Chains A and B, each alone.
Chain A
Amino acid sequence: MENRFMRLIDGIIRFRWFIVALMVVLTALSVYLMKDLKINNDYETWLPVNDRVGDLLRQIDREFSSNTLLLVVFDFGHAGAFTPDALRFMDRITKEVQGIEGLFQVTSITNVLDIRKTEDGVEAANLIREIPRNMMEGQALRDYVLSDEMYRGSIVSADGRYTVLAATVDSGHDEIQVAGKIIGRVDELSGAIPYYIGGDMSIAYYMDHYMKRDLTVLVPIIFVLIVALLSYGLRSASGVVACLTVIGLSIVWMVGMKSVLGFPFNIISPAVLVLMMAMASDYAVHIYNRYQQTGDIRTSSAQIATPVIMSALTTIAGLGTFGVTKIIVLRNFGIELAFGLAFACILSFLLITLCGYFEGASKKTTVQKESALEHRIDAVMHRLGGWIHDHARAYLAGAVVFLVVFAYGITRINTSVDFVEWMPKDSQPRRSSVILENDFNGMYRVSMFFQGDMEDPRNMAAMGSLGNYLRSDHRLDGFMSISDLIAEENWLMNGVYAVPETREGIANLWFLLEGQDILKTFVSEDRKQALINCLMNDHETRVMKEISAEIQQYLDANVSGELVSVDPLKLTDSARKTLDRVMVRKASRELAWLAVRYDEPRTYAPGIFEETVRKGLHADAGDIDMGPIWRETGNYLENEAVEELPPGLIASLVEGLRESWGSRFLDETKGRLAGLITQGRAMNAEDARTTVDGMIGRAEHAFRLQKASHASSSIFAGLDSALANNEDFVKRSGGVLWSLFSPRPVFFMNEVKDIAGINGAITETSQVQIDQSGSHEMFGRFDKLLYESQIQSFVLAATIVLIMISLSERSLRRGLLALITIMIPLGMVMGFMGWVGIPLDFGTVLCGSLIIGLGVDAAIHFMAYYRRLYISGLGVRECLEATTSHVGRAVITANGTTLLGFIVLIFSQTTELRNFAIINAMAITMVTASVLSVLPAMASLVHLEDRAWKIDLDVAEHHIVEEIARRYE
């Protein structure tokens, strides 16, 4: 093998100028390629392509720009947000921010959509039509705004102190750049008004900010430390320069490769650069050290080639295992660092060989004396090797006990994928998240994504019902959907909080909302896609997973793709009773959800409503007061008919309707009533029929309202008075009961599919697909992928390393021993994470495979050296003393530089990099200790070496072996 490497080294020397030229060209090319590098801390994009959750998030983001929310919370102190000055400021800043290019939508207290009842009807316009001129008007506005659940906690805090400006970036624009412009504008205009920046776009923005800060602070620190360490270790200016050149070029090539692969910089990138600086010099140092020992670059490079290449390959294999992870940022981390180390390994051979070659012409011998420190380390290590040999069983037993105790902590490891927690405590996202969770409805969005014809009343009703379900979860708030807005309009215009049951009804009310900017955040232009948006007032990953699981369970159990309108009259009596039971159950369930919502913390089971709902369902004209119906009919005829009618005729028409109430929908009845109008020559036949249709329609509406009101009274009588008088509960539960009395009730097909003859009673159908999406899904997915990544990369790294060592050492036993040596400290470190509460996150997840790759180097060196000594005929104890002494110093030195890299990363601004650094620093330290203690202990008990394998010792090794043998004589 060494001969082959010797030929390779000769080739390097022979083609030295070509190689130098090639390196210059590649370096120049890499520098050129860097111009295409991008930064991407938009964490939604870290989910893989062809991933259900990721694809849905991206689809929704393309349509609604919903993943680019920036929230600016303004603190107006005790005076509150409703003073004329505060509102003028909000108006100005809203307009200023609106003027920034690339924004999809901007909402604040001044321009948020308000649907309000007016003297003559309903209007949809900005919440603040005119800025209040004095405190009294401001107070009136405050009372109005804070009484509405649509604004309270969404746009203004419940105490009126804080108000929020929400902006979303148009997909296709650089969100970080736009966020920067917004933050800059806010900072410029806010003066003494405190503000806090939050929302997912702020996290991406500040990730950029802290990433850049880490790069500018940590990289110079590690550079200085590496220079100092190399200077001390090598004591050769040319060696230091050569090693630094290896580091520099390998980083440049790696960054060029990043560009080729399309890997952007991200929040983890500082770790890549720092680790590259710490680790890339390892190979060069090993080669240069050997060169210093032998004074012959050809021999030294060839001798050191195998362990150095093996070491590089195992590290690269460990990092390469991240190639299988689905989290893009982790995959990129592994791949780019693997490329970087591969470049470092190649460059080490090339540059150190060339350096040695050129240096060799003027300087022949550079073998250095041991320093006092090195001598002391050797002595300690030497004694350690002997001690371990003598106490191998006890030491291993102790290690196993420690492992068991620590490893139990693995069961306590939690995951954390909350990006807010990555930020420093005094950072804008952290401070704003506290306010947004305590005083607002939160900052993370939960969405229900509807795909189907959203003008279809069935789909719209399903949206309303799902909205009621979501309201039963107190962790969710700040709801916004097209069905809510249309129901609100219907409530203000017709006294019914429910979506209309005809396509025309929906279209008419939607017409009033057209052109409202906010619609595009939850309904697509073609009305084929829509969202229910709400916010989550908790950012814990565990809570997010719970919410996701609960919603999914509900969707799986209750939602099917087809919605149907059913005509109960087309069913048999028995089937109709079954349908009634379904309707009662459905309405009761919705009432329970609403009761839970508005009477926190009480719980309500649907069962408590069922009996009263059932009675209400079967109420008829005889059970309710019909007075309001006749009055409404009279009013209609008097004021809204197409022509004015004489009072006598109006009275006759009302009386005629009263007498034929039971047959009001029959053509015969309508014809007779229209005849009354035409006989009086008040209208022509067509207008008369229009008037009668209008009159019956209005009477029917009033009748249904009365039935709902009758049912409500019975239900509310059994409830706590606070709940029964809660305006929002009364409004929404009234809508549920209104729908209960629909002549064509709507169901998901799976709710009624078992009812006999149901197909014959279905009058209309619609198709809809409902999926959940949003931050909770994204974090839940990241959480799952983190676990998967950890396990996959860990198992893969261990397997690859085992195979590689077993093959290279030609012994499965040695492979296993090396692996066990690494796994014991890793198990302890993972357990430590669980015990002290360091979560598995984007940083710590990298530990396992990285440390397997790094740690196994030391084991390989140890076993290789041990084998050579053992073959030469030394006893086990002597071999262990010598190996621990000789390899120990090298391992401590090599892992020391890597440890230095991790220690520097502890000073990162982000929690995730700090956790990464702490855990890896601990792991690399423990792995080093394990190689120098657990491995010798196992070697003492297990036959580590097989004498049958022949190996040729070179002159230098013979010299070392003889030297050691003499020492033990």
Chain B
Amino acid sequence: MRRVLTGCAVVALLLFVTASPAPAMDGNQILKKVDEVQSASKDSVASVTMTLVDKGGQTKDRTMKVWRRHYKDKDDWSVLKFAAPADIRNLGFLSLADDKMYLYLPAFDRVRRIASHARKESFAGSDLSNDDLSTGKYSNHYDAQISKETDSEYVLELKRKPGSERIYPRVTAWVNKKDFTVSKMDLYDDAGKLWKSSEIKNEQVQGYWTPMEIKMTDVTKNHSTIMKITKIEYDKNLEDDIFTERYLKRSVKGD
């Protein structure tokens, strides 16, 4: 779930661990630590507000509920259901391992798989793409190198691994040395131009580092999306059947 928030694939990269970094860590080891921070809890349930801000400054709000199952050794699972606005209430996404993604359209009572071709497409009109919702570990898809290091941060240059279907061939991530949370990411397109930029505010909740607010800006469109966690609970022992196509059809309760 946190990953969804963190930019739903923007690589939420946050860590929970508070230990000091090992002195001789390379980029890939740091990235692995970042993945570990993301998947530190067993699972989570969160209420999230997504605010779309257009270039004129006008905003549009959407709220959703997100269930997430974290795995240390494989891709996470997540279910996301919209609670508001009313006309898309109960519209849901299911994201499973191996990049399997499903969409439920309540008005037609149908579940549809999202093809891998559609990964670049915008998620719900936001500045996040469907790819940003995927649950794969960053270290599985990118090779990382430290491009800069300060007293408090690593700046990682992530290069997409051959064969990976991630839509960003290059990512720059600012990783906190102390807790392995990510405070900022720059995402580049195939032509090597800056496409999106995200700023992340992290807080500890129940001992887990949580990206409480993410601002994703599409610099080419001058359009941004702010995702805020309004409520989150960890380690709820979520049932397996939550992460199924049939579960997508159930109405979202509360907000």
Contacts and interface: CB of A to CB of B under 8 A. Distances in A.
B193 A99 contact: yes
B191 interface: yes
A122 B109 contact: no
Interface string B35-63: 00000000000000000001010101000
Nearest to A517: B221
A120 interface: yes
B115 A698 contact: no
**Residue of A455, A505, A514 most packed against chain B (CB within 10 A):** A514
B80 interface: no
B107 A129 contact: no
A525 B58 contact: yes
A505 B110 CA distance: 11
A514 B122 contact: yes
Interface in A331-383: none
B97 interface: no
A640 B250 CA distance: 12
A500 B109 contact: no
B113 A500 contact: no
Contact of A503 (B87, B91, B118, B251): B87
Nearest to A643: B246
A503 B112 CA distance: 20
Contacts of B120: 125-126
Given A129-B117, A640-B110, A640-B111, A511 B58 contact: no
Contacts of B124: 511, 514-515
Contacts of B103: 121, 512
Contacts of A504: 86-88, 106-107
Contacts of A99: 191, 193
Contacts of B91: 508, 511
B139 interface: no
25 contacts: A95-B191, A120-B112, A121-B103, A122-B112, A123-B121, A125-B117, A125-B121, A129-B117, A503-B87, A504-B86, A504-B88, A504-B107, A505-B107, A507-B85, A508-B91, A511-B91, A514-B124, A515-B123, A515-B125, A525-B58, A525-B60, A640-B246, A642-B246, A687-B250, A690-B251
A500 B107 contact: yes
A705 to B, nearest CB: 13
A120 B107 CA distance: 17
Contact of A118 (B87, B88, B113): B113
Contacts of B105: 493, 508-509, 511
A393 to B, nearest CB: 75
Given A508-B88, A641-B246, A494 B117 contact: no
Nearest to A129: B117
B109 A694 contact: yes
Interface of B: 54, 56, 58, 60, 85-88, 91, 103, 105-115, 117-118, 120-126, 129, 190-191, 193, 220, 246-247, 249-251
A573 interface: no
A56 interface: no
B118 A123 contact: yes
B221 to A, nearest CB: 8
Given A99-B191, A514-B124, A505 B108 contact: yes
B107 A508 contact: yes
A120 B102 CA distance: 9
Given A511-B91, A511-B105, A640-B249, 8 more contacts: A125-B115, A126-B120, A494-B110, A504-B87, A515-B121, A516-B122, A640-B111, A690-B251
A502 interface: yes
B131 to A, nearest CB: 12
Contacts of B191: 95, 99
A617 interface: no
A122 B56 CA distance: 32
Interface of A: 95, 98-99, 118-126, 129, 455, 493-494, 500, 502-509, 511-512, 514-516, 525-526, 640-644, 687, 690, 694, 697-698
Nearest to A455: B87
A641 B110 CA distance: 10
A123 B106 CA distance: 17
A504 B86 CA distance: 8
A120 B117 CA distance: 13
A631 B112 CA distance: 20
Contact of B107 (A125, A507, A525): A507
Nearest to B125: A514
Nearest to B220: A98
A698 B107 contact: no
B74 to A, nearest CB: 23
A121 B109 contact: no
A507 B62 CA distance: 13
A698 B109 contact: yes
Nearest to A701: B108
Given A507-B87, A516-B122, A643-B246, A123 B117 contact: yes
Contacts of A698: 109
B99 to A, nearest CB: 14
A125 B106 contact: no
A642 B250 contact: yes
B88 A525 contact: no
A640 B121 contact: no
**Residue of B85, B110, B190 most packed against chain A (CB within 10 A):** B110
- Which 10 pairs across A and B sit closest by C-beta, in order of nearness? A515-B122, A121-B112, A514-B125, A120-B113, A507-B87, A504-B107, A505-B107, A508-B107, A508-B105, A129-B117
Contacts of A640: 109-111, 246, 249
Contacts of B56: 525
B58 to A, nearest CB: 7
A112 B108 CA distance: 26
A461 to B, nearest CB: 16
Given A515-B123, A690-B249, A694-B109, A125 B58 contact: no
A640 B246 CA distance: 7
Nearest to B89: A504
Contact of A123 (B87, B111, B114): B114
A493 B55 CA distance: 33
A118 B122 CA distance: 18
B113 A119 contact: yes
Contacts of A506: 87
Contact of A515 (B113, B126, B250): B126
A121 B113 contact: yes
Contacts of A502: 107
A781 B123 CA distance: 43
Contacts of A526: 58
Contacts of B109: 640, 694, 697-698
A687 B246 CA distance: 11
Contacts of B110: 121, 493-494, 640
Nearest to A118: B115
Nearest to B123: A515
A73 to B, nearest CB: 24
A455 B107 CA distance: 14
Contacts of A455: 87
B110 to A, nearest CB: 7
A126 B121 CA distance: 9
Contacts of A98: 220
Nearest to A122: B112
B157 to A, nearest CB: 22
B95 to A, nearest CB: 15
A435 B249 CA distance: 51
**Residue of B103, B247, B251 most packed against chain A (CB within 10 A):** B103
Contacts of A643: 246
B59 to A, nearest CB: 10
B58 A124 contact: no
Nearest to B128: A515
Nearest to A514: B125
B222 to A, nearest CB: 10
B217 to A, nearest CB: 14
B127 to A, nearest CB: 8
A690 B60 CA distance: 30
Contacts of B107: 500, 502, 504-505, 507-509
A644 B249 CA distance: 13
